[in-house]
């Protein structure tokens, strides 16, 4: 099908560009630096056409090219040894790992931060849609999503605008797709005001032999665009919004945010899976950031290097669109496939059966160039690798922030410690940082498809991937911006450790990592110091834990004016469960079970929830990282006979006790030693709260001893609906539940 288009104005052809070398071009308005524009002219031996300039500008943007982060991200490949489990690594749409029994799992987390501030519902919804298509492009059936979210102060007026829209967008798109939302985070901090973080993760499943790749090979093979029509929504969307500081001066230039249609994407998913099963696809690429500019250049550069496209064939929603708009549009629910000529009819027939619009745009060539025509006129003639893989690479200046030493020196030791721990517990449980997230998560369908085994508020989401054997995967995402602000190297490792611990708490074996690195402007040397240290810390941590990094995303320019967000590396960890029937839940399960603490507790309050919630304080150093202790703890958590397990993190032991009690309305009678404030609220790492049947306490002690993990017997689970800490406090579960569950409804209903 050919779009109903018209040639409007003077078409900037390759011939015309060669004949008018001095014609001014708006490269700066498109986000290109003067030296970048000069490089493009050198590469082409002439000035670029308007269409070529559009392609280079979006593909060389920070969001698409990683030009400020590449030199640091290389550590994930250089430091980490090859993994037998890793089937597809960094560089593809998503990483793929071997899940056993012939199953492969692909997962990835990405950001849609700036669009979600401009238009919360559509920004969040299309963030979900985009990450789902990344997973689909690998050949997998998407089976679950997660959403790590961060907002400004919970009681701020703009948070009241942004948060409900984001949550509705995440839930609306995911629910309509029929994908369970099995986990995530909701974090509040003033630094995210005006710069919410909307990260989205998707996990998909396939057989190991069914992996698809993004490349255009085979001269004569056809290039087919299929899915939704192309419109002006999203022109300059995520590729521009995520590649510059978002401030008042730029708001008048805000590009449009993509508009999602989850029902169209659901049909597209089923259509793609049928195309894969029938063997009709040579290469496949989803259309997300940078739209056709990205899909065409990446497919061509990863294949034989040549492609010819007749751009006027693209089906349009608006007939007056210019070729530059068609190339840059980020309209959703679109895919681009490479198909051998003899299979085109079958490909189109499958699309027609699913009522998915499909159009042959062009074919793979041997020219080594991407050639795009518009009504018979050549408007693009470029080497595709110069667009997709040969963009600028910057070694940005790095400098430790001037206030870093003072920040670290301002330890929480100067803060007054409370006498009334009962009152403190109730305040902490009700604080925005620790209160129940049910107001958010109840808007998501967590159990659609019937394969969800554990979901929010559990430590990790667990999904069955094989009904015959019960094999499944566990997933958790974590990140603490306060920790990373105090020590970026340790903060990234603490995010990794917590996600690793959460996965292990379900009984799963953690095997792989994805990440979404959210930071301020790379043009700020202090931000680049934070980024470089965080990447170094994450790479070193993954090396120690033996968890390869399968891919991820970098989101820069998360700041308003000169004020950046807290540096926020979000780390996702995937684990494998041979049988999900043997997973370990977080909540206390039966009265009489023995309550125990695994791990050692220190006086660790730097960056803690207590320091921030009670005193608005951020200073000192975060809890020490001990990855060997995390590995040992994970081994104990996988012992196979725990009745429950819940990791200790924000809010310490007190918060873990409350959440474990409230999960199934069972009380606990426990005792702590030493300073009760430290015992209850310290955020020391490599710890977990567990329960076992009375007869298994000695057995657990033996396992813990074998792995060198400290074990403390705290008390027992009780039928009485009270959390009692001997000689310290006693609170009824009804009072705890009211404190925990009333905060978000009061703020956002």
* Dihedral angle sign, alpha carbons of residues 666, 433, 743, 182: negative
Question: Average pLDDT of 47-66?
Answer: 94
DSSP string, 360-416: EEEEEESSSSEEEEETTEEEEEE-HHHHHT------------TTHHHHHHS-GGGSP
CA separation for the pair 127, 121 (Å, rounded):
10
Which of 72, 112, 308, 646 is an active site residue? Answer: 112
Give the pLDDT score at 327: 95
Report whether 166 contacts 123 (CB < 8 A): yes
The pLDDT value given to residue 560: 84
Domains in the chain: boundaries: 585-749
pLDDT at 254 over 70: no
Q: Exposed, middle or buried by CB within 10 Å (0-12, 13-18, 19+), for 248?
A: exposed
* Rounded distance between C-alpha atoms, residue 66 and residue 62, angstroms: 5
Cα separation of 330 and 33, whole Å? 23
Which strand (E) or helix (H) includes residue 464?
A: strand 461-464
What is the per-residue pLDDT across 472-505, written as a single tens digit (0 to 9) for each? 999 999 999 999 999 999 999 999 999 999 999 9
DSSP state letter for 444: S
User: What's the confidence (pLDDT) of residue 10?
Assistant: 84
User: In this predicted model, what pLDDT tens digit does every residue of 591-612 receive, in sequence order?
Assistant: 999 999 999 999 999 999 999 9
**Backbone conformation region of residue 305, classed left if phi is above 0, alpha if psi is from -120 to 50, else beta:** left
Class of the CATH domain delimited by 585-749: alpha beta
Give, in order, the Cα–Cα distances in Å from 63 to each of 56, 92, 238, 431, 618. 13, 16, 8, 35, 30
What's the CA gap between 254 and 707, in Å, rounded? Answer: 55
Decide if 226 contacts 285 (C-beta within 8 A): no
Residues 731 and 733: their CA atoms lie apart, in Å, by 6
Mean pLDDT of 710-735: 98
- In sequence order, what are the residues at sequence separation of 6 or more whose Cβ sits closer than 8 angstroms to the Cβ of residue 38? none
User: How does residue 561 score in pLDDT terms, banded at 50, 70 and 90?
Assistant: confident
How, if at all, do strands 181-188 and 95-100 pair?
Answer: unpaired
Beta strand extents in 635-740 (DSSP E only): 644-647, 667-670, 688-692, 711-718, 722-725, 729-732
Other C-beta atoms closer than 10 Å to the C-beta of 485 total 24
Predicted confidence at residue 9, as pLDDT, reads: 55
Q: What was the pLDDT predicted at 400?
A: 97
For 272-303, write each residue's pLDDT tens digit.
999 999 999 999 999 988 899 999 999 999 88
Q: In the annotation, is 112 catalytic?
A: yes
Distance between CA atoms of residues 324 and 53, nearest Å: 9
Annotated catalytic residue 72: no
> Model confidence over 510-551: pLDDT tens digits?
999 999 999 999 999 999 999 999 999 999 999 999 999 999
Q: Give the pair of three-digit tokens for residue 419.
A: 């006498």
pLDDT score, position 236: 61
Mean pLDDT of 244-271: 72
With 80 as the cut, is the pLDDT of residue 256 above it?
no
The phi and psi torsions of 542 (rounded to 5 degrees) equal -65, -35
């Amino acid at each position: 099908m050919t779009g109903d288009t018209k040639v409007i104005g003077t078409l900037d052809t390759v011939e015309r560009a060669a004949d008018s070398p001095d014609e001014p071009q708006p490269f700066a308005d498109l986000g290109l630096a003067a030296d970048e524009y000069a490089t493009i002219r050198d590469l082409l031996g002439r000035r670029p056409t308007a269409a070529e300039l559009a392609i280079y500008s979006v593909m060389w943007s920070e969001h698409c090219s990683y030009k400020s982060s590449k030199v640091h991200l290389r550590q994930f490949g250089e430091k980490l040894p090859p993994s037998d489990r890793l089937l597809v690594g960094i560089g593809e749409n998503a990483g793929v790992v071997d899940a056993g029994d012939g199953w492969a799992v692909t997962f990835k987390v990405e950001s849609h931060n700036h669009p979600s501030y401009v238009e919360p519902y559509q920004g969040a919804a299309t963030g979900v849609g985009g990450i789902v298509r990344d997973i689909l492009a690998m050949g997998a059936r998407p089976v679950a999503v997660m959403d790590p979210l961060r907002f400004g102060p919970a009681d701020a007026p703009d948070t009241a605008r942004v948060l409900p829209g984001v949550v509705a967008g995440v839930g609306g798109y995911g629910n309509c797709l029929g994908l369970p939302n099995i986990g995530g985070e909701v974090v509040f901090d003033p630094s995210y005001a005006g710069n919410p973080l909307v990260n989205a993760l998707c996990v998909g499943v396939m057989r190991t032999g069914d992996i698809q790749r993004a490349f255009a090979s085979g001269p004569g093979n056809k290039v087919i665009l299929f899915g939704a029509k192309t419109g002006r929504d999203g022109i300059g969307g995520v590729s521009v919004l995520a590649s510059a500081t978002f401030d008042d001066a730029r708001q008048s230039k805000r590009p449009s945010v993509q508009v999602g249609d989850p029902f169209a994407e659901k049909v597209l998913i089923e259509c793609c899976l049928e195309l894969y099963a029938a063997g009709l696809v040579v290469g496949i690429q989803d259309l997300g950031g940078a739209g056709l500019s990205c899909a065409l250049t990446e497919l061509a550069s990863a294949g034989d290097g040549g492609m010819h496209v007749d751009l006027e064939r693209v089906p349009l929603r608006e007939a007056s669109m210019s070729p530059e708009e068609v190339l840059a549009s980020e309209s959703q629910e679109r895919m681009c496939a490479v198909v051998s000529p003899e299979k085109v009819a079958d490909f189109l027939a499958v699309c027609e059966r699913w009522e998915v619009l499909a159009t042959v745009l062009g074919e793979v060539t041997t020219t080594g160039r991407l050639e795009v025509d518009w009504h018979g006129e050549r408007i693009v003639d470029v080497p595709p690798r110069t667009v997709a893989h040969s963009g600028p690479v910057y070694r940005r200046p790095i400098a430790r922030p001037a206030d870093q030493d003072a920040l670290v020196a301002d330890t929480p030791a100067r803060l007054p410690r409370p006498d009334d721990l009962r009152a403190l517990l109730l305040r902490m449980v009700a604080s925005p940082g620790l209160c129940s997230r049910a107001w958010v998560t109840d808007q998501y369908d967590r159990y659609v498809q019937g394969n969800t085994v554990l979901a929010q508020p559990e430590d990790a989401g667990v999904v069955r991937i094989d009904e015959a054997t019960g094999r499944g995967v566990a997933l958790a995402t974590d990140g603490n911006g306060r920790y990373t602000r105090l020590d970026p190297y340790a903060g990234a490792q603490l995010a990794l450790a917590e996600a690793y611990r959460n996965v292990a708490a379900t009984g799963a074996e953690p095997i792989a990592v994805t990440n979404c690195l959210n930071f301020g402007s790379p043009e700020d040397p202090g931000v680049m110091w934070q980024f470089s240290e965080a990447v170094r810390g994450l790479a070193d941590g993954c090396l120690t834990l033996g968890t390869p990094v399968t891919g991820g995303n970098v989101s820069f320019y998360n700041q308003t004016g000169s004020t950046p967000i807290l540096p926020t590396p979000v780390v996702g960890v995937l684990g494998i469960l041979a049988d999900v029937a043997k997973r370990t839940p977080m909540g206390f399960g039966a009265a009489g079970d023995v309550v125990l603490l695994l791990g050692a507790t220190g006086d660790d309050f730097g960056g803690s929830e207590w320091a921030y919630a009670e005193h608005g304080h951020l200073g000192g150093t975060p809890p020490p990282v001990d990855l060997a202790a995390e590995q040992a703890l994970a081994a104990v958590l996988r012992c196979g006979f725990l009745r429950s397990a819940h990791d200790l993190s924000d809010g310490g032991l007190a918060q873990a006790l409350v959440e474990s009690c409230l999960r199934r309305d069972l009380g606990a009678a426990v005792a702590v030693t030493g300073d009760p404030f430290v015992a209850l609220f310290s955020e020391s790492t490599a710890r977990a709260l567990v329960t076992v049947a009375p007869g298994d306490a000695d057995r657990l002690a033996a396992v813990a001893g074998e792995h060198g993990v400290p074990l403390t017997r705290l008390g027992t689970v009780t039928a009485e609906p009270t959390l009692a800490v001997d000689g310290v406090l006693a609170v009824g579960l009804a009072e705890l539940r009211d404190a925990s569950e009333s905060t978000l409804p009061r703020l956002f209903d």
